[in-house]
Structures are given as structure tokens and as C-alpha cells.
Chains A and B, each alone.
Chain A
């Protein structure tokens, strides 16, 4: 019998989250290497339409459970519901997104099922009789190949996929929906949801700016953030941003943080200064139309996504650049007035 690949679908209650289509793309690759069938698992407050839609678009069965108090991610309820569903419908492979919820529940589920667990995976390939999963170490400076035997229900494998690692593959099948509705009684919980506090980046102009100049750890000292502001000053309109460590140190407010846990930006021009390019930062600016990176470390991962790479220490280079820009403006002004 073919093994089962269970994809835990992410959604916002109304729509399937695009990260689910990344998981789908990943699952199809996995399916190419092992004999397996795909199915989705869906937990939400009102899964009826979502489940039908997901099933008919993918042609895959969907196991769905309506569970109260899951509008916002609730770790205890979510874990218990998924353990219940996966006991009823065991999977050799269980896939979820490495987002704020997946990274929370997947390691716990792996313990509950005595499964192997590989998190923040970026790629998969066949390797001998088993599988090889690629993931980043040391903030992307190193890649690791992790081997796993082909999984089975007796020795399952749980994997989280790093968002953005694979191109999403929105399915376009038109099949009759196959949905299995499961019941789950919410148990007494030691965890109570108390509400949500807005992001400090709410209301910031970062997301709307056409030019964003960001500073990272390469600024070395708080006062050097002025260099980032000076560089932003050469553009008619530019916003200043920062990588997470600079905000963690308290050098600038979290409102300026570019990244998955801050503001996701997609300006026409993004200039990364002294930012090595952690995955959480890259995911927050990868959609920028044109990227310039200034970093003294030629092996910084930021250079992999940059359109223009400048291997220099920003502390020396930005003053040179700002000065050259001033001279250029003076020259252009005199050429215009002389003409």
C-alpha cells in the first residue's frame, strides 16, 4: 500500500494561505521519490467550504475538523486536534510550513508520534535508498544535507518547509471534493487566548516606500545609523529600515524592522548596508525590484539576492558614496544652468 503524505494546510479562515501551495509543490517532489498518496489536513473554526475548495482544486482528499477557539493559533488546542486527526488518519510524512505556528506544533507532534523531525527545510532530493533534505545553518552561511530513511507509519517523518524556499504551485484540478469531516472535542486547556497586540510596524511608511535603505549589524555602533539616514538623504524620497539585530540592540525602534517578524517590503529600490541576510530578513525584502547590497563579507548571503554587490565596509563606503552623490548633483545643476 502506498504511504500517505499529510499536508497540514495553512489558512486564514476564508482563504488557503499561499504557503500551503509551497507545501503542495514540496509534497509533489517528495511523491516523485517515494510511493505515496497526498492528503490535506485542515483545522479551523468553520472548515466546510475551505475543505471542499481545497479538495476539488487539488483532487486530493481533505481531512477536516471544525474546532472552536482556533481562529487564532492556539498551541494546545491545535496540537491536540492534530494528534487526534493524525492518529485517525496516520501519515508516514507530515508536512507543515515553518511559520510561527508550524515551528511551534511540529516538533511537539514529532515527539507524540516518535517521529524524526527536520525543520526549515529548503529542498529535497532522492539519496540512495532514502531521502536528503537541505536546510540552512549559521544564518544561511552553511547548508546541511540531512539524510532520512523512507518513512512509514511506524517510523514517520515530520518536516517543516521554510516559507519562500520553493515556488508555490497553486493546483488547478477540477475534481469532485472528497472531504472527511472529523469531530474533535476541545479539552480543558491550561492556555487561554487573551487577544492580540498590533505590530510596532503598523502605520510605518516602510511598506509603501519606493526606496528603502536599511542598516544591519555592520553599522557596529548605534551612532552609525546616521550613515543609513545620510544615504537615504541622497534620494528624493526614501525610508530607512533595519535588520532585526539592530532593533534587538535597541539602536532603532522595532517599527523600522524589515523581515518576516517586522515589515515585509517590496520597494523599487532596496539598499542593504551591513546586513548579512538572515533568512528572516531575506524573506522580508526578496520581492524588491532592485537590490543593492553593501557588505564587507563577500560570502554574506545577501549577495545571493542582490542585483548590485559592493564588497566594502559601509562605515567607509557610505561617506564616499554620499560625497560623490553631492558632487554629481552640483555638476548636474551647473550643467543645467549653463545649458
Chain B
């Protein structure tokens, strides 16, 4: 069985955000750190668990991004993927998901993946489009917001729970091949194993230049990014922590909460 996990490298969560001079994207410095998009880490972990439960599972991990994104692939190998594919695109900033999806689909076509996993969305752009788009391009069924999956014993279908509003789950049985987008909390992602990290460092990765791939037209264009209006509408308490605590208790008491 062949699995493909699609990952994205994003700025480390909790990073200070600064907008660059063009106003088009964030400013990166030597101190900027990157990591695998959190939702994609859940997807890699889920693939590795499938591999641990079944015989003969191979996991490919793919990313679309600049040279630095190879670090995310290496980490994916460290967690347990077998092969890494880097679709190299040096453009920084927003890339419409339809383009990312088209390139991943172009790579995946003909490679006979039984299961394609992506995170439900990326931490930075939060579009949530890439997974469902890959499925549509490849004419595969798609289950988004997957919170549980179980490949059936005949290895021809998979039972999937997808999360809906209020936290209830709709359960589907889906014939493979198919695409699942993975919701956070489906598992607890592990840290890469040292032995695998050492191996990943030396591992050859397949590189595909994005220039060789077709780019879909009719895409929206990012005009700019900005910080939202940051003035809080409410009352901002000032002073020492003790003063703030006293003032908050006064407010809560005046409203009869205490």
C-alpha cells in the first residue's frame, strides 16, 4: 500500500509577526524559524501509525516550497516517511491553493497512491483548500476534517469519521484510493527518532522544479496583509498585577458574579 502525505513548511507557531516593506508578506530574518504545519504533523503521524499496523506500507511525503522547505521533508522522514518529494518553487508568500494542488496532483498522478493525507488547513494561510482540490483533480473521493480512520481488513476501503459542527462525527466507508484531510487531535504526533533523523540527513530526495509543471489560471491575487485594528473595544486594566486583580474583583462584584 502506498501513502502520500502532503505537508507545508510554515513559520514556527508563536513567532513574532512582522510585515515586510512590500506589505505583501511577512518579514523573515536569520532568527526566523520554520516548522511543519501543525495539521500536517497529525497527518504524518497518522500515516506512520497505518504503516506500523499493516505490512508493506510505504509512505511518501511531498511539499511545495522554497529550498528551506527541505527541512520539513527531512523531519517527515525522521518521523517515519520512506521517501520525500520536493516540488521546488522559490516564490515566498501566498501561493493560491489551486496551484499547490495542481502541482501535487500532477506529481501523484500515475504513482498509484492508495491514500493521500493532508492537514485540514495550514496554520499560516488557513485556506483549507489544497486537500479537497487534489481529490477533485485526481477524481478521488475526499473526506475532510478526519478525526478517526481505520483501513478495513481487505485493504480496499477505509472507515472514516469526520468532525462536524458541535463535535459530532459523521461516519463514512470510502473505497480507496481516496484523500483525507486530517483534523487536529486525531493522534499525538511523535518526535522524530534519532536514528531516523541521521538517516534522513543523508537521504536523497526527489526534486521536481515547479517551472516544469503547468500553472492553473484565473487565480485571485494577494494585494497585501496588515495587522487588524488592534484597539481593544473593552476596558484595559492598568497597574500592578495586584491592582488589576483588585479592579477585576470590583467589576465582577458590581455585576453580582461573585
Residues of A bordering B, CB below 8 Å? 72-76, 79, 99-101, 103-105, 107-108, 110-112, 114-120, 127, 132-133, 135-148, 155, 157, 189-202, 211, 234-236, 244-245, 247-250, 254, 257, 260-264, 268-269, 290-293, 298-299, 301, 303-312, 316-317, 320-321, 323-325, 328
B127 at the interface (CB under 8 A from A): yes
B61 at the interface (CB under 8 A from A): no
Q: How far is the CB of B255 from chain A (nearest CB, A)?
A: 6
B234 touches A303 (CB 8 A): yes
CB contact between B137 and one of A111, A190, A199 (< 8 Å): that residue: A111
Whether the pair B162, A100 counts as a contact (CB closer than 8 A) is: yes
A316 to B242, CA, bound (A): 11
Q: Render B100-133 as a binary contact track against A, CB cut-off 8 A, 1 for contact.
A: 0100000000000000000000011111111011
Given contacts A108-B133, A147-B220, contact A200 B167 (CB under 8 A): yes
Q: How far apart are the CA atoms of A276 and B213 in the complex, in Å?
A: 39
Chain B residues lying within 8 Å of A323, measured Cβ to Cβ, are 245
Contacts of A301 in B (CB 8 A): 228
A299–B165 contact, CB under 8 A?
A: no
Q: Is B168 located at the chain interface by the 8 A CB criterion?
A: yes
Q: Please determine whether B241 and A317 come into contact, CB atoms closer than 8 angstroms.
A: yes
User: In the complex, how many angstroms separate the beta carbon of B150 from the nearest chain A beta carbon?
Assistant: 11
With a cutoff of 8 Å between Cβ atoms, the chain A residues found around residue B124 in the complex are 137-138
| Residues of B in contact with A (beta carbons under 8 Å apart) | 17, 19, 26, 94, 96-98, 101, 123-130, 132-133, 135-137, 141-145, 159, 161-175, 178, 183-185, 188, 216-228, 230, 232-237, 241-242, 244-246, 248-249, 251-253, 255, 257-258
**Interface CB pairs A-B, < 8 A, 15:** A100-B164, A101-B164, A104-B142, A117-B129, A120-B127, A139-B126, A142-B225, A143-B227, A144-B224, A155-B218, A157-B220, A261-B183, A304-B232, A310-B248, A324-B242
CA distance A7 to B242 in the complex (A): 53
Contact of B184 among A248, A262, A263, A324 (CB under 8 A): A248
Instruction: A201 to B165: give the CA distance in the assembly, Å.
Output: 11
A137 touches B132 (CB 8 A): no
Q: In the complex the two chains form, what is the Cα distance from A112 to B240 in whole Å?
A: 58
Most chain B CB within a 10 A radius of its CB, from A120, A142, A148, A250: A142
Contact present for B245 and A320 (CB under 8 Å): yes
CA distance A325 to B34 in the complex (A): 42
Residues of B within 8 A of A119 (CB): 127-129
A284 to chain B, nearest CB (A): 10
Measured in the bound complex, the distance between the Cα atoms of B171 and A263 in whole Å is 20
Question: Roughly how many angstroms separate A155 CA and B257 CA in the complex, as a whole number?
Answer: 56
Which partner residue on chain B sits nearest A259 by CB separation? B167
Contacting pair A146 B172 (CB below 8 A): no
B81 to chain A, nearest CB (A): 22
Q: Told that A145-B225, A261-B163 touch, could you supply 7 new A-B pairs with CB distance under 8 A?
A: A75-B142, A107-B136, A137-B125, A138-B123, A197-B171, A254-B167, A321-B245
Q: Is the CB of A194 within 8 A of B249?
A: no
Cβ–Cβ < 8 Å partners of B224 in chain A: 144-145
A292 and B255 CA atoms in complex are apart in Å by: 13
A99-B165, A108-B135, A260-B165 known; A311 and B220 CB under 8 Å?
no
Pick from A142, A146, A307: contact of B220, CB under 8 Å: A146
A307 contacts B245, C-beta separation under 8 Å: no
Cβ of A192 and Cβ of B136 under 8 Å apart? no
Q: Check A309 against B234 for contact (C-beta < 8 Å).
A: yes
Contact B125 A299 (CB under 8 A): no
